[in-house]
Amino acid sequence: MGKKRIIKKTKEELLKERDKVEAKVGKEVKIKAPQVKEGKVYVSSSYNNTKMTLVDIVGNVLFWTSAGSIGFKGSKKSTPFAASKVAEAMSQAINKVGIEKIQLLVKGVGSGRESAIRSLAARGLNIISIKDITPVPHNGCRPKKARRV
């Protein structure tokens, strides 16, 4: 089968990729909602991606973003760095809307979960509460029927 060849990116290619991600994070945020004072941020962190959704108290979605929509592809979407970039874009949206207080609801088991929370807190947002809403099976599946011999 031969040797597997690993293509290594040069520093210039890595810098170009980073600039592209920075540009997508810093792009204008389009928000279609009136000024609200309080909201909820849902953070869904899976093994493959990190998604964040900003909603008002009623539950109307004001803004959403994910690592894939920012420009990360493949296994890079599930990294803590990608999650921090998602949180950066979300904090820009929160500041643009004018929300003063947020509640964080975190779901999932991915690696981007902690870094997303830390990034939101580091941006100076007033976080009222952090709640874990990860679904946990409480009784499991039905067992197989007994084998008859």
pLDDT in tens, 1-23: 567 777 777 888 878 888 888 78
Residue 143 lies in a domain: no
pLDDT, the chain, mean = 89
CATH code of the domain in which 64 resides: 3.30.420.80
Residue 123 lies in a domain: yes
Confidence of residue 25 (pLDDT cuts 50, 70, 90): confident
Question: From edge to edge, which strands make up the β-sheet containing 126-132?
Answer: 61-66, 50-56, 38-45, 101-108, 126-132
Domain count, the chain: 1
Q: Please tell me the distance from the alpha carbon of residue 138 to that of residue 17, in angstroms, as a whole number.
A: 43
Residue 4 lies in a domain: no
Residue 47 lies in a domain: yes
pTM of the predicted protein model: 0.77
Give me the domain span that covers residue 76.
17-24+34-132
Residue type (1 letter), 73: K
Residue 142 lies in a domain: no
Residue 12 lies in a domain: no
Residue 86 lies in a domain: yes
Residue 2 lies in a domain: no
